[in-house]
């Protein structure tokens, strides 16, 4: 027994004479020793909206950001001779060794901060003599290669501080809701320092009495060591443990955070996996106030509709961008906790009459006037497909929502009231030009197939693409690419990415102005008149959309400040309910959210004004013959009052509507 004790003492003492190649302090060496850090995601106003990390939640705190009071508190709690020893404190080790030998096992650490750091970086927490010897040797190596400040920085970024928080910066956010270490109080510094010895034992939320005693013990030692004054001590001991009722939990996912990750991956802004390890500061264009409000409004409407019509899978989505293309909010479903599928950009569905404005824009680009007339007579068109049972060729017969037809209808009225058949007749004058516009506005791709049902929105798209296309109608023919990541900085504050808005001219402004005036009429007295009240305060323009069998409802609109699209539908792709239209379902919540956006960012009058545009409408060149116009004039006027949105099917798998 005496031989074993003697050998153990020799082994312990030999550590003090450990000799290694001298290596100077190196930032590169410190960098290699740093652990992985979470990236922090901010909204446009600098508010934290989430974190990206895997495993341990840790935020990087450089030494310059760590307040002196916190450093003094940690030294007081863990290693009072830290700035005096060379990584190993002989007095502390001998004192601990005597205790350990008396007990026959490791029961007292006596470890310096440097030893603790060596254990955190290299070793397991298991207490053995062998591990202790390695710890001592590694501690001396760390002291040779790093400065005391670098050791403290590493230690305070590694150490676990309860409630899933690793490192002092993460702990400050989790325990106190603080985003800056500089804002920590003396009492909070003492609590963090005191927790190190037993993170769960001194957990302030689970064991507040223990945590309070430990904190006050550290404060008394800080007073004794001259780190704080008596007045500071007296104020600190009166302070509550934490201002939070429960620990902050890092938010790692949400519809807007998923869009951030999607954009980083799609644009290859930084290596994708690095967002979980590099400790980036990711600044976004999201307005968290609008994000919460839009989610609440759309979810509320979806739940109300679902209850009223006894549906269990009714979903919603919404997205808005400003005049630069910056995404203000994105809602991908009724509840992220229930479904993480982001229907704003991860799902493709037919967009119905949302697509119609691009046919009318094409007409205006070719010299047509909103005052021109177009046929609204029934259409029968062979599809080239045959019924399997009868062998007969399938004939496409697009219908109007009202099931009524008229010989002619004015273009302005046809778009205002989303008349299907008239839109088809118009597109038949220049189908390839319509196709080119759908491509230019990036609603379809160059190699996508195209048929006349596309002008009624039978092709699949999503809110991201729709908002992008309508940004050009809002912006005088200039299309804006939506983006959500505005800036990324590394953990040292260096900018590694800065967003640049991407604009593309896709139309002449005069044609756009003609179209915009009619889209204003859609809101004032057309299919979106449910939100006509908005025009009392600011200019609004937009278009409703409803797909075949009432499967999808849309409203996409804009003001001087933003473009927004809202959608409701079922994941099962079944009918929502009979007569569910974009004007009745999607437009009302759009109006509620629009008022809030305008409250924050202001909305005004379009330039040129509606009145100026209408006065300058080109003279009509396409109109019925005089005698026909007289015969059908009264019937035409009456039918316009009844026209709503229309439904059309060219193939069973395709849908389109108004």
Q: Given strand 48-52, what is the order of strands in its sheet?
A: 48-52, 39-42, 281-284, 485-489, 495-498
Find out whether 88 and 136 touch, Cβ atoms under 8 Å: yes
Give the model's pLDDT for residue 384: 77
Evaluate if residue 2 carries a pLDDT over 70: no
Give the model's pLDDT for residue 129: 63
Region class of 104: left (phi > 0), else alpha (psi between -120 and 50), else beta: left
Give mean pLDDT, residues 499-527.
97
% of residues, the chain, pLDDT over 70: 86
> Cα separations (Å) of 292 from 244, 288, 299, 365, 613?
21, 6, 11, 40, 37
Give mean pLDDT, residues 311-321.
97
Give mean pLDDT, residues 471-481.
98
Provide the residue ranges of all domains of the chain, joining segments of one domain with +: 1-30+70-147, 291-657
More confident of the two residues 443 and 6: 443
Question: 3-class SS at 398?
Answer: coil
Report the distance separating Cα 479 and Cα 485, nearest Å.
18
Q: What is the pLDDT of residues 599-634, one digit of tens each?
A: 999 999 999 999 999 999 999 998 776 544 444 444
Q: Quick one: tokens of 288?
A: 């968290």
Report the distance separating Cα 292 and Cα 140, nearest Å.
52
Find out whether 466 and 358 touch, Cβ atoms under 8 Å: no
Q: What is the pLDDT of residues 157-177, one digit of tens each?
A: 999 999 999 999 999 999 999
Evaluate if residue 187 carries a pLDDT over 90: yes
| Counts of helices then strands in the chain (DSSP H, E) | 22, 22
Report the distance separating Cα 301 and Cα 587, nearest Å.
11
Find out whether 605 and 538 touch, Cβ atoms under 8 Å: yes
Burial 388-410 (b: 16+ CB within 10 A, else e): eeeeeebebebbbbeeebbebbb
Instruction: Identify which of 143, 69, 70 has the alpha carbon closest to the alpha carbon of residue 113.
Output: 143
Q: Quick one: tokens of 558?
A: 């804009």
Residue 373 — φ and ψ, nearest 5°?
-110, 150
Evaluate if residue 648 carries a pLDDT over 50: no
Distance of CA 216 to the CA centre of its chain: 42
| Confidence label for 104 from pLDDT (cuts 50, 70 and 90) | low
Evaluate if residue 445 carries a pLDDT over 60: yes
Report the distance separating Cα 305 and Cα 284, nearest Å.
32
Evaluate if residue 110 carries a pLDDT over 70: no
Range name among 22-36, 480-494, 603-617 with the lowest pLDDT average: 22-36
Report the distance separating Cα 48 and Cα 572, nearest Å.
35
Q: What is the pLDDT of residues 266-290, one digit of tens each?
A: 999 999 999 999 999 999 999 999 9
Find out whether 655 and 458 touch, Cβ atoms under 8 Å: yes
More confident of the two residues 657 and 558: 558
Specify the CATH class of 291-657 in words.
alpha beta
Evaluate if residue 466 carries a pLDDT over 50: yes
Evaluate if residue 543 carries a pLDDT over 90: yes
Give the model's pLDDT for residue 650: 34
User: Which residue has 């968290």 as its token pair?
Assistant: 288
User: Which residue has 């953990």 as its token pair?
Assistant: 491
Region class of 255: left (phi > 0), else alpha (psi between -120 and 50), else beta: alpha
Average pLDDT, the chain: 89
Find out whether 320 and 566 touch, Cβ atoms under 8 Å: no
Q: Quick one: tokens of 489?
A: 């900085």
Find out whether 525 and 535 touch, Cβ atoms under 8 Å: no
Q: Quick one: tokens of 151?
A: 């050791």
Report the distance separating Cα 482 and Cα 464, nearest Å.
8
Q: What are the residues facing 564 on neighbouring strands?
A: 320, 557
Find out whether 598 and 322 touch, Cβ atoms under 8 Å: no
In the chain, the largest separation of any two C-alpha atoms, in whole Å, equals 125
Q: What is the pLDDT of residues 556-583, one digit of tens each?
A: 999 999 999 999 999 999 999 999 999 9
Report the distance separating Cα 414 and Cα 417, nearest Å.
5
More confident of the two residues 432 and 137: 432
Find out whether 117 and 142 touch, Cβ atoms under 8 Å: yes
**DSSP-based helix, strand, coil % in the chain, nearest 5:** 45, 15, 40
Range name among 347-356, 459-468, 583-592, 627-636 with the lowest pLDDT average: 627-636
């Amino acid at each position: 027994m005496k031989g074993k004790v003697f050998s153990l003492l020799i082994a312990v003492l030999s550590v003090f004479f450990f000799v290694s190649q001298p290596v100077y302090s190196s930032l590169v060496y410190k960098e290699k020793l740093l652990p992985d850090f979470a990236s922090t995601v901010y909204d446009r106003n600098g508010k934290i909206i989430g974190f990206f990390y895997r495993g341990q939640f840790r935020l990087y705190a450089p030494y310059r950001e760590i307040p002196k009071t916190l450093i003094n508190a940690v030294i007081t709690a863990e290693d009072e001779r830290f700035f005096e020893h060379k990584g190993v404190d002989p007095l502390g080790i001998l004192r601990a060794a005597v205790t350990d030998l008396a007990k026959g096992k490791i029961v007292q650490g006596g470890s310096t901060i440097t030893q603790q750091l060596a254990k955190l970086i290299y070793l397991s927490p298991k207490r053995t003599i062998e591990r202790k010897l390695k710890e001592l040797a590694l501690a001396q190596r760390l002291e040779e290669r790093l400065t005391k400040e670098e050791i403290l920085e590493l230690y305070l970024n590694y150490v676990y501080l309860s409630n899933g928080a690793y490192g002092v910066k993460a702990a400050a956010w989790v325990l106190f809701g603080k985003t800056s270490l500089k804002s920590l109080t003396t009492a909070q510094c003492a609590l963090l320092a005191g927790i190190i010895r037993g993170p769960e034992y001194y957990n302030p939320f689970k064991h507040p009495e223990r945590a309070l005693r430990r904190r006050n013990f550290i404060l008394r030692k800080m007073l004794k060591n001259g780190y704080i004054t008596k007045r500071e001590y007296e104020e600190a001991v009166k302070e509550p443990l934490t201002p939070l009722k429960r620990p902050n939990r890092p938010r790692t996912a949400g519809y807007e955070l998923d869009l951030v990750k999607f954009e980083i991956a799609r644009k290859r802004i930084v290596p994708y996996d690095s967002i979980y390890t590099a400790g980036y500061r990711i600044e976004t264009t999201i307005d968290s106030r609008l994000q919460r409000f839009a989610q609440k409004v759309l979810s509320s409407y979806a739940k109300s509709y679902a209850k009223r019509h006894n549906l269990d899978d009714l979903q919603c989505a919404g997205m808005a961008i400003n005049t630069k293309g910056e995404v203000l909010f994105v809602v991908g479903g009724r509840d992220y906790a229930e479904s993480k599928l982001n229907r704003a950009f991860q799902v493709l569905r037919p967009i119905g009459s949302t697509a119609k404005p691009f046919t009318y824009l094409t007409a205006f680009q070719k010299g047509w006037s909103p005052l021109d007339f177009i046929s609204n007579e029934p259409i029968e068109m062979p599809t080239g497909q045959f019924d399997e049972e009868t062998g007969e060729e399938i004939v496409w017969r697009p219908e109007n929502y009202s099931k009524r037809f008229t010989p002619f209808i004015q273009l302005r009225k046809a778009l205002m009231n989303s008349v299907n058949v008239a839109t088809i007749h118009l597109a038949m004058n220049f189908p390839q030009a319509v196709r080119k516009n759908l491509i230019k506005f990036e609603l379809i791709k160059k190699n996508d197939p195209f048929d006349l049902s596309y002008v009624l929105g039978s092709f699949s798209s999503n809110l991201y693409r729709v908002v992008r296309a309508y940004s050009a109608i809002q912006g005088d023919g200039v299309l804006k690419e939506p983006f959500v990541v505005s800036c990324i900085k590394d953990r040292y504050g260096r900018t590694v990415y800065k967003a640049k808005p991407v604009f593309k001219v896709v139309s002449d402004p005069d044609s756009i102005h003609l179209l915009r005036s009619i889209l204003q009429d859609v809101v004032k007295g057309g299919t979106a008149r449910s939100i006509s009240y908005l025009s009392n305060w600011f200019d609004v323009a937009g278009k409703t959309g409803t797909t075949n069998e009432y499967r999808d409802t849309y409203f996409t609109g804009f003001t001087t400040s933003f473009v927004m699209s809202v959608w409701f539908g079922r994941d099962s792709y079944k009918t929502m309910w009979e007569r569910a239209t974009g004007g009745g379902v999607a437009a009302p919540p759009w109006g509620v959210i629009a008022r809030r956006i305008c409250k924050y960012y202001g909305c005004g009058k379009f330039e040129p004004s509606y009145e100026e545009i209408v006065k300058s409408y080109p003279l009509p060149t396409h109109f019925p013959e005089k005698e026909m116009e007289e015969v059908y004039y009264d019937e035409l006027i009456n039918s316009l009052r009844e026209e709503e949105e229309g439904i059309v099917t060219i193939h069973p798998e395709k849908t389109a509507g108004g």
